[in-house]
Every structure is written in structure tokens, then in C-alpha cells.
Amino acid sequence: MAPCRFSPYIPFRPPSASSGRTASPRGRSALLTDTASIPTDDLVAGFQIENQQVRGRVVRLGAAVDTILAAHDYPEPVANLLGEACALAALVGSALKFEGKLIIQAQGDGPVAYVVADYDTSGSLRGYCRYDADRVAQASQGFARPGAQTLLGKGVFIMTIDQGPDRERHQGITAVEGETLALCAEHYFAQSEQVPTRVRLAVGELTTGEGLRSWRAGGAMIQNVAEDQARGATADAWERAQALFATTGDDELIDPEVPTDRLLYRLFHEDGVRLFTPKPLRAFCRCSHERIMDVLRSFPAEERVDMVEADTGLIRVTCEYCSSVYQVEPGSV
């Protein structure tokens, strides 16, 4: 982990609106700049409230978050926390204007010691949690679903921008505050970026007609992108945008029957809202046999001897992110 340092402003701009924008800002749904090959699920997209210094992003996750969460047998509150982290990583990371990764982490002294979700600008998401099952069960008593503060305890929320091995990482750290990762993120943006920001995240399990359950997650954020000196002049618009944003229902964010453009239209139709071309998201882990070998080679030989399983004579490595299991012949390391 790179030493703690506060990140510079994360460029939070939707893509340029040069392509195919339609004329009226008040259609039945939010306007799309480009209707070719638009994903309807597992997507993240920027949007802009017409004629206001308010921009936002929205994320909808179906199969992608289900794949990530189904790779583990997490208790429901832990799966929820990781789902929130995945949605948040995509929301923030998709604003990056260069190739790289946006990593959301939180750690503390609570029942969940660590949660991480990483988004890379190719649209890949992955993540995992470390937790104590007994303590999670204990903390869950009396709660419908314990949130971030209860699960993580006293801890820190960390956002990292990683542009690759030859570039310096930018990292910002704030205290875990609030019962959702959305509140942690708002606190982060207020402290580290000084950009007024509202974030909503929702996670839930849907049951299909056949009784199959699958995870879904969704989220949205808005930011007042007016320059400091102009914030006073735009205060009313920002107040109004926040009030409308606050009416977003968790159920709407995760409902596969509510398309993203309709979701935004419901919220901001009076002012008009423009949705930028969505970017597809998927669950993808970068682990590989070669990477596992590199990790094993980084251990002293005597420690590798201790890793060999008595019954198989092999070293067995499980990827914490995706639960893939790699079996390695000790002699081949």
C-alpha cells in the first residue's frame, strides 16, 4: 500500500456531448446522446441536469454483482456491504479520464475487518470482504441489516486511483462515518475533494418465478460542479437537485424493470436531464496462474514448504476476489 496521501480532484465529467444529442430536453425519458449498442443492465453512465452546474453518474448492476457475490458465501449484511462497494467503485471510477483502476476500501475493528472493490477502466469489477462470522451474526441481532459503521466499527474509508505500476498512486483516506458506504463517500468528497456530493447506493436480492435468487445493486451520485466562487449563485439549483435526488428509492435503483433513462426522468424531468452513453460493466478478476506463481515466488522458500498440503503434496491458493483455486506443484515455483 502506498503511503497515505490525499488525492487531487477526481475529474468528474461526463463524456463530451458532441454525438447525436436529440433536441427536446423533456421527452418521456432522459435523453441519450447515442442510442447505438446501449446496455440495459450492468452499466454505468454519466448524466447532466439541463442548464445547471449539477452532474451525476448512475450505475445498475445485475449479473456482474451477482457473479461477484455468488463467488462467496457471505452473510447477507456482508454481501450487502460488498455490493455497495462495487456500485460505488464503478460510480466513481467510471469518471476517470485515463486507463487505470479505482479502488474502494474500508477497514476497521468491527465484525468486517476489510472490504475492497476495484473497478478498472475496461469496465471490470471485482471485490471481497474479510469478516468474522460470529461477530457479524452478533452485530446483526436487532437490525434489519447492519450497515457500514456497525460492520466496520472504528475504521477508515480509502479511495485509491491506480494508473499502473510506473505511476504514483493517489490515495485519500477519511474516517468511516455513517451507516452506509454512500455516507462514507459523501464524507470523503466533502473532506478530500471539497466537491458537494450526494451518493445513493442500494443492494438487494431478487427472487425469480422459479425461486432462483440473484443479487442486484444500483447507485447514483450527483455533484455540484460549479466553481467555488459560483457556488452561491447555483445554491438554489443544488438544493433542488439534492431534494429530488433524495426521493430516489432503493427499490428503484435495483429494479431491473425500471430502465436507467426512466429512473432519471422520474427524478429530474422538470428540469430535463441528459443521460450520456452508458458503459458496460462486468465481473472480471485479473488473477491467473502466472500471477499466483509470482506471489508464491515472493515468499521465502521455507515459508513455501509450510504451504504444501500434506495429503496432495501441492500448494493450494484461493483467489480472495473470485474464489478461483490454483493448485501448484511446489517444484515448479
Kindly tell me which of 225 and 319 has the beta carbon lying closer to Zn ion. Answer: 319
Q: What is the DSSP letter of 298?
A: T
Verify binding: residue 79, Zn ion, rule CB under 5 A: no
CA 148 to CA 115: how far, in whole Å? Answer: 10
Question: In the structure grid, which three cell numbers stand for residue 309, read together?
Answer: 498440503
Verify binding: residue 285, Zn ion, rule CB under 5 A: yes
Kindly tell me which of 65 and 287 has the beta carbon lying closer to Zn ion. Answer: 287
CA 17 to CA 34: how far, in whole Å? Answer: 9
CB of 319 to Zn ion, least distance (A): 3
For cell 477502466, the residue is: 121
Which region, judged by CB under 5 A, interacts with Zn ion, from 98-106, 168-176, 262-270, 312-320? 312-320
228 within 8 A of 235, measured Cβ to Cβ: no
Of 88, 139, 319, 328, the one binding Zn ion by CB under 5 A = 319
Facing residues of 49 across strands? 273
Site for Zn ion in 218-257 (CB under 5 A): none
Which is nearest to 4 in space by CA: 199, 182, 189, 173? 173
126 within 8 A of 85, measured Cβ to Cβ: no
CA 269 to CA 264: how far, in whole Å? Answer: 7
Kindly tell me which of 117 and 287 has the beta carbon lying closer to Zn ion. Answer: 287
CB of 291 to Zn ion, least distance (A): 9
Which region, judged by CB under 5 A, interacts with Zn ion, from 11-19, 69-77, 256-264, 311-319? 311-319
Of 287, 292, 315, 328, the one binding Zn ion by CB under 5 A = 287
Kindly tell me which of 69 and 225 has the beta carbon lying closer to Zn ion. Answer: 69
Kindly tell me which of 83 and 196 has the beta carbon lying closer to Zn ion. Answer: 83
Which region, judged by CB under 5 A, interacts with Zn ion, from 117-125, 205-213, 219-227, 283-291? 283-291
Total residues at the site for Zn ion (CB under 5 A)?
Answer: 6
Verify binding: residue 281, Zn ion, rule CB under 5 A: no
Verify binding: residue 321, Zn ion, rule CB under 5 A: yes
| One-character DSSP codes across 171-228 | EEEEE--SSSHHHHHHHHIIIII---EEEEEEEEEEE-TTS-EEEEEEEEEEEE-S-G
Which is nearest to 102 in space by CA: 275, 242, 281? 281
Kindly tell me which of 57 and 126 has the beta carbon lying closer to Zn ion. Answer: 126
Which residues of the shown chain bind Zn ion in the complex (CB under 5 A)? 285, 287, 319, 321-322, 324
